[in-house]
Amino acid sequence: MEPSGVSNEKRPTVDLIKDKNGTDQILLQNPKGASVKISLHGGQVISWKTDKGDELLFTSAKANSKPPHPVRGGIPICFPQFGTRGSLEQHGFARNKMWLVEENPPALPSFDSTNKAYIDLVLKPSDEDTTRIWPHCFEFHLRVSLALDGNLTLISRVRNINSKPFSFSIAYHTYFSISDISEVRVEGLETLDYLDNLFEKERFTEQGDTLTFESEIDRVYLNSRDVVAVFDHEKKRTFLIKKEGLPDVVVWNPWDKKAKALTDLGDEEYKHMLCVDGAAIEKPINLKPGEEWTGKLNLSLVLST
């Protein structure tokens, strides 16, 4: 029985669960039934579902979810390096480390918690492996939140607690679940310069009005506007990617030949995924001792009739 005067409306919930390998995960649910699942392995969002239970993120059926393997899908965080642009392992170490739930995170005054399910995670250089390959003292605070309207937001704060400056790159390597790669277009990248990783990072300028897909693509679009849209004609839905502090956008699909060479991706699965990342890659972020950087990614879904 609800006490008189107390609303029996559903509230946002945050639950600690485990996957089949025993890895801790966080399940966020909003009052309408939408959900987000985050693995403490990598601080990686691995599921984002609508209130009707539709999965919006792609994860490969062949993905290896057993640590320390990075999971092929969801939203792995590439930090402090993207790709092979540096001396570290591909995409850096953050996606392979165990993150901790942060009980008393630094205040985030601009955050409105009304009707939001959210969790704070933190990554610190806690082992010798990390400090040996990247000898910097840092704190990476990550807040993942699910709003009443189903929007997913990731807020990253990286603080330099070292006595010397350091720089880093970052990308939210978002695998969107799509009907078919031939049915999808991306808007918001028109006339931008991009670095083409299929041509030794050579710089080109985007000529088309919208971006459509007929072959492998691996590009970093530079200094993009703050909103990029992914239209899926067959599913009659649009992903809106809004970002702050993340000037670049990565667009990646391996296509058929590359897909067959990836052991954790099915031969035909490339047709049902597209990576569009909010990122800071071309110009690494420089932090002096005591400085903090904040980046924000907001993902929303718009259904068309």
Known binding residues for substrate are: 72, 90, 95
DSSP states of 136-150: --EEEEEEEEE-TT-
Count of other CB atoms within 10 angstroms of residue 254: 18
Helices in the chain by DSSP H: which ranges? Answer: 128-133, 255-261
Closest residue by Cα to residue 122 from 159, 164, 92: 159
Rounded to whole angstroms, the Cα distance separating 273 from 270 reads: 6
Six token digits for residue 268: 């035909």
Q: Where is 166: in which H helix or E strand?
A: strand 166-172
CB 27 within 8 A of CB 45: no
The count of C-alpha atoms lying within 13 angstroms of the C-alpha of 60, restricted to the half-sphere facing its C-beta, is 22
Count of other CB atoms within 10 angstroms of residue 146: 26
CB 47 within 8 A of CB 35: yes
DSSP state of 2: P
Instruction: Decide: residue 25, CB within 10 A, 0-12 exposed, 13-18 middle, 19+ buried.
Output: middle
Binding residues, as ranges, are: 72, 90, 95
Query: Alpha-carbon torsion 271, 276, 282, 287, what sign?
Result: negative
* CB neighbour burial string for 265-274, b if at least 16 within 10 angstroms, e if fewer: bbeebbbbbb
Q: Which residues contact 126 (CB under 8 A, 6 or more apart)?
A: none
